[in-house]
Amino acid sequence: MRTSEHYHEDLRAMRPNVYMGGKLVKRDDPRIMPGINVMKITFDMAKDPQNAELFTATSQYTKKKINRFCNVSDSVEDLLTKQKMIRTGARLSGFCIQRCMGTDTINALSIVTKEIDDANGTEYYQRFLEFIKGYQRKDQIAAAVQTDAKGDRSKRPHEQADPDMYVRVVKQTKDGIIVRGAKEDITMASYCDELIILPTRTLTKDEKQWAVSFAVPADWKNVHIINRASAPRERKYLKAPLNTYGSSDALVIFDDTFVPWDRVFMCGEYEFGGRMALAFAASHRHSYCGCKPAVEDIIMGLIALAAEYYGVADKHHIREKLAHLAGIAELIYAAGVAAAVDSTKASSGTQIPNPIYANVGRRLAGENTYDSWGKVADVAGGFPVTMPFEEDYYHKKMGPFINKYTVRNPKVSAENMHRLQRTLSDYLSSSWAGVWQVADMHGGGSPVMETIAILSNYDFEERKKVVKRLAGIKD
Ligand SMILES: Cc1cc2nc3c(=O)[nH]c(=O)nc-3n(C[C@H](O)[C@H](O)[C@H](O)COP(=O)(O)OP(=O)(O)OC[C@H]3O[C@@H](n4cnc5c(N)ncnc54)[C@H](O)[C@@H]3O)c2cc1C
């Protein structure tokens, strides 16, 4: 397994193809570092004796010990442990541990490449096996490169005025394929090793050229990454772990990119496009059932601590809010547990989380995002968004005034009150907070996408039969 230092060195050795703020930048640009620091947690935890059991697994392919983020789940236990690891990781990073993106893409590939081969006698699964063994041995990080530009949302890929609105194969040669298009919002693209590309949606027989899945190193020729980084505000005096973390999301351009056949996992099998998209979605929404409870954990911690520091911990509306949030957190988590316990086995042996439980959990999380943060804003009061800048707290003349007038509970020092309110400010009113609140709504699929997944998997006819029997209705 890699160390976080080794990972950082590997990033530094990559070909520069990341653009940000109008310039070609290095992968360890200071604005990208906060995302890299989150990745480092995943390497450090795998080496940490207290967390190694959670953050490592035994590969079903090589029988070797690997980082659990590189694992393809082949048991209920694996799914349960992945979910628990993600909740632990997201608590440590303060929001999203990010690396599960790659975990969920390799799980989807393991399922669907085998199913295509079973149906068509192709060799995608063998290619996947070669790929995954190298990926696990090198302890790599992959970005999940799924969301296409999509153009006019009311039109299918083959109906778009510009066919490049969904990533497509423009040419096939004896050595590989040439792809063109763009994928947007791609988290970690600027600090991952591999980009794994999956279709976004179900496809029809008119859409063979859009039925494409492949992996390329993130610095591959004719791949351009246009990055946007976000992080909590930098601290000058009050250094805190949260302010070392952050993330990056990118528009990834495939500029007639050549992909050799051994890295192509789907090419033209339109009837498996939706299967691949949904296999990833089920796995990723199961992962969300680990990370969103962690976000609710942080929300509850912020509220409980603010209430204590403000002297209102015992008030009814605070306790009511905490009970409600505990319910949301644990129902999301319980949906993930149910998805694992009621999972099924794919023909490849990969354990597939139950899609209904994974989707209802993710939907509950997405729909409650702003309500949960609204509760934090309520308890935080106004000062965290109007408080003076950090330097003013350390000004010789003004600092003592600020410290005197911001103390509320006399048992809590002025510095700790400052720390909490600045953290509340980061979570409620920084540009980073805005990005992550939208991510909690849309990442892994907007609530409407979970609705579609639930409606297509759920048996409402069965429910009608229940009522017909109760009502004595005989057809
Ligand atoms: C911070 C962040 C990180 C992300 N990371 C990744 C990542 O790593 N990899 C990745 O692949 N994706 C990633 N995503 C993308 C995410 O999966 C998408 O944002 C999500 O799937 C929604 O797609 P969209 O943004 O294109 O929204 P849109 O499709 O533009 O949706 C906007 C609105 O239009 C509605 N709508 C769209 N199409 C239809 C339709 N046909 N019928 C009815 N209503 C419709 C939606 O319901 C929604 O209300 C990330 C997103 C964010 C915000």
Q: Shortest CA distance to 67 belongs to which of 279, 80, 90, 81? A: 81
Cα(first)–Cα(last) distance of the chain, in Å?
63
Gap from CA of 226 to ligand 1 centroid (Å): 18
Does the residue 236 lie in any domain? Answer: no
Q: Shortest CA distance to 199 belongs to which of 151, 142, 265? A: 265
Range of the domain at 350: 276-466
Q: What is the pLDDT of residues 428-447, one digit of tens each?
A: 999 999 999 999 889 888 88
Residue pLDDT tens, the chain, 475 long: 999 999 999 999 999 999 999 999 999 999 999 999 999 999 999 999 999 999 999 999 999 999 999 999 999 999 999 999 999 999 999 999 999 999 999 999 999 999 999 999 999 999 999 999 999 999 999 999 999 999 999 999 999 999 999 999 999 999 999 999 999 999 999 999 999 999 999 999 999 999 999 999 999 999 999 999 999 999 999 999 999 999 999 999 999 999 999 999 999 999 999 999 999 999 999 999 999 999 999 999 999 999 999 999 999 999 999 999 999 999 999 999 999 999 999 999 999 999 999 999 999 999 999 999 999 999 999 999 999 999 999 999 999 999 999 999 999 999 999 999 999 999 999 999 999 999 988 988 888 888 888 998 899 999 999 999 999 999 8
Is the distance from the beta carbon of residue 186 to the nearest atom of ligand 1 less than 6 Å?
yes
Is the distance from the beta carbon of residue 133 to the nearest atom of ligand 1 less than 6 Å?
no
Ligand 1, atom 30: nearest CA belongs to which residue?
Answer: 153
At 292, which CATH number? 1.20.140.10
What is the number of domains present in the chain? 1
Is the distance from the beta carbon of residue 442 to the nearest atom of ligand 1 less than 6 Å?
yes
Does the residue 234 lie in any domain? Answer: no
Which pTM does this prediction carry?
0.95
Distance between CA atoms of residues 250 and 462, nearest Å: 44
Gap from CA of 187 to ligand 1 centroid (Å): 13
In this predicted structure, what is the pLDDT of residue 232?
95
The phi, psi pair for 223, rounded to 5°, reads: -115, 125
Instruction: Name the one residue in this structure whose structure tokens are 């106004």.
Output: 382
Does the residue 20 lie in any domain? Answer: no
Q: Give yes or no for a contact between 454 and 364, defined as CB atoms under 8 angstroms apart.
A: no
Does the residue 425 lie in any domain? Answer: yes
Distance between CA atoms of residues 464 and 102, nearest Å: 40
Instruction: Name the one residue in this structure whose structure tokens are 């759920």.
Output: 458
Gap from CA of 215 to ligand 1 centroid (Å): 22
Burial classification of residue 135, based on how many CB atoms lie within 10 Å of its CB (0-12 exposed, 13-18 middle, 19 or more buried)? buried
β partners of residue 66: 57
Does the residue 231 lie in any domain? Answer: no
Gap from CA of 142 to ligand 1 centroid (Å): 20
Q: How far is C-alpha 100 from the geometric centre of its chain's CA atoms? A: 6
Does the residue 437 lie in any domain? Answer: yes
Does the residue 223 lie in any domain? Answer: no
In this predicted structure, what is the pLDDT of residue 223?
98
Ligand 1, atom 16: nearest CA belongs to which residue?
Answer: 443
Does the residue 106 lie in any domain? Answer: no
Ligand 1, atom 34: nearest CA belongs to which residue?
Answer: 153
% of residues, the chain, pLDDT over 70 = 100
Gap from CA of 103 to ligand 1 centroid (Å): 20
Q: Give yes or no for a contact between 98 and 188, defined as CB atoms under 8 angstroms apart.
A: yes
The phi, psi pair for 227, rounded to 5°, reads: -100, 150
Q: Give yes or no for a contact between 106 and 59, defined as CB atoms under 8 angstroms apart.
A: no
The per-residue DSSP string of 274-319 comes to: HHHHHHHHHHHHHHHHHHHHHHHHHHHHHHHHHHHHHT-TT-HHHH
148 DSSP assignment: B
Q: What is the pLDDT of residues 83-123, one digit of tens each?
A: 999 999 999 999 999 999 999 999 999 999 999 999 999 99
Gap from CA of 331 to ligand 1 centroid (Å): 24
Identify which of 185, 248, 292, 362 to mutate to test ligand 1's pocket (most ligand atoms within 8 A of the CB).
185
Is the distance from the beta carbon of residue 156 to the nearest atom of ligand 1 less than 6 Å?
no
What angle (nearest 5°) sits at the alpha carbon of residue 188, between those of residues 62 and 74?
A: 30
